[in-house]
Amino acid sequence: MIQGKFDEVGHILFEIELVASNTSKLPVEAMLDTGFTGFLAINKQDIDTFGWVFNGNEWMVTPQGQVRLEKYLGKIVLDEQEYELPVYAGNHITEVLLGSLWLKILPLTVNYQAGILTLGD
């Protein structure tokens, strides 16, 4: 189970690690965005540093509507478990985003008033 937090405006944030192709890890704060229908999205300019394999372009649903994003095969560590998954990149993405697909495999527990926020078992 990974503990999250709320920022000053109420965004849901989790600490994850992005794993480069050379196995180095970069801890980042990722925002849960249920308007994004994939697993992970990142700004296009940041993608080159990880050496992830490009897998074409794909139309994805975001809060801004359907957009065409570049698709890469990347790795992240979430709750001490490594996942290999599609990572989407675009110029308009300003935060590292965890999308709604996570909610299909990991339960989300939120109690805003108590400050309880967990993702996973």
- Write out pLDDT tens, residues 103-117: 999 999 988 888 788
If one counts the domains in the chain, the total is 1
Output the domain CATH number for residue 14.
2.40.70.10
Kindly tell me the burial class for residue 62, based on how many C-beta atoms sit within 10 Å of its own C-beta (0-12, 13-18, 19 or more): buried
Q: What is the pLDDT of residue 115?
A: 79
Three-state secondary structure call for residue 44: helix
Contact indicator for 13, 5 with CB cutoff of 8 Å: yes
12 pLDDT above the threshold of 90:
yes
Show the domain range for 52. 2-119
Q: What is the pLDDT of residue 39?
A: 97
Q: What is the mean pLDDT of the chain?
A: 93
